[in-house]
Amino acid sequence: MSEVLARRALEEIDKAARRLAVSGIESARLDAELLMAAAAGVTREAVITGSIDLSPATLSNFETMIARREKREPVAYLLGRKEFYSLDFEVNPAVLIPRPESEIVVAAALGFIAGAPDARVLDIGTGSGAIAIAIAVNAPRVRVTAVDISADAIAVASRNAQHHRVEDRVTFRRADCFEILDGGPALGSFEVIVSNPPYLDDAEIAALEPDVRGYEPRVALRAGAGGLDILRRIAAGVPQHQHLASAGELIVEVGAEQAAAVAKLVEEAGLRVVSVINDFAGHSRVVRARRSRA
């Protein structure tokens, strides 16, 4: 590739980054590089070194994506992909974009599964399937049931399971928490129940970045006054319907200020809080609770 083309590619990225910065995007340069890579069908490394084809089609695709990003459409939706637990996942506006905080849920579940390699796992509110699939990929003997209220989300998650070749061990069901909506049999009992449920109230949603507030599915975010509606249902439903096996563990992601309230909910449901795990910013993010042995 000529030095002239390489220089022009960097100039286009510089201009795009300035436009994104004006729109209030902190990761403007990174976003511009990622979108140029997607437009050209190459890696970000190739973009950085100038090893890309600046064809008219590439420039047209790049301009289209930059214009959408200026309106704060998330990069993950523009790319159609997001990395989670070192795995690549398809994402679209039907599903919440997986966050690093949810990797803590996976790690905690795998820690439990290390002592119970044949565990049955339930993932509530699976979305893209990221948590369920990451567990299945890293624990080859587990069987996972993953539920979501959204049929569109289940379709995305099913494709991700096929991509990672765990579709024989991950079953997707349409359900509202423990309430089955697909006409199939009731959920059984599980050694591990995991969830990254909706945990924001309306005030918190209104204060979100426009990338989240304007594009990610509200059903995966909103959880009533205090943001505890779904967490309350999960805590109450575990003992009520005997979904957690004896000595099994419930592992849930919670809002930054919710750990104490959620710990109280699960204790009132008859579970024992094992630990509360902080995220990378030091916020209490994951509550682990265990059912006593029968």
The answer to whether the beta carbons of residues 146 and 129 sit under 8 Å apart is: yes
User: What is the mean pLDDT of the segment spanning 215-236?
Assistant: 94
User: What is the mean pLDDT of the segment spanning 240-249?
Assistant: 87
pTM of the model: 0.94
User: What is the mean pLDDT of the segment spanning 239-263?
Assistant: 92
User: What is the mean pLDDT of the segment spanning 80-108?
Assistant: 98
Provide CATH code, domain 81-290: 3.40.50.150
Burial of 50 (0-12, 13-18, 19+ CB in 10 A): middle
CA distance 148 to 28: 33
Please, where are the H alpha helices in the chain? 3-22, 28-40, 44-48, 56-70, 75-79, 102-113, 130-138, 151-163, 202-206, 210-213, 229-240, 259-268
The answer to whether the beta carbons of residues 233 and 252 sit under 8 Å apart is: no
> What are the pLDDT digits (tens) for 28-75?
999 999 999 999 999 898 888 777 878 899 999 999 999 999 999 999
End-to-end CA distance of the chain: 69
Burial of 29 (0-12, 13-18, 19+ CB in 10 A): middle
Residue 193, beta-bridge partner list: 122, 250
Q: What is the DSSP string of 154-176?
A: HHHHHHHHHHTT-TTTEEEEEEE
The pLDDT assigned to 51 comes to 77
The answer to whether the beta carbons of residues 150 and 217 sit under 8 Å apart is: yes
What is the residue extent of each domain of the chain? 3-71, 81-290
The answer to whether the beta carbons of residues 245 and 291 sit under 8 Å apart is: yes
The answer to whether the beta carbons of residues 96 and 215 sit under 8 Å apart is: no
- The length of the chain, given as a count of residues: 294
User: What is the mean pLDDT of the segment spanning 158-181?
Assistant: 97
Inter-CA distances, 46 with 2, 33, 39, 161, 173, Å: 14, 10, 12, 29, 41
User: And the tokens for 83?
Assistant: 């990395």
The pLDDT assigned to 242 comes to 85
Q: β-strand 272-278 against 284-290: which pairing, if any?
A: antiparallel
Mean model confidence pLDDT for the chain: 94
CA distance 235 to 263: 9
CA distance 150 to 155: 9
User: And the tokens for 244?
Assistant: 């957690």
User: pLDDT exceeding 70 applies to what percent of the chain?
Assistant: 97
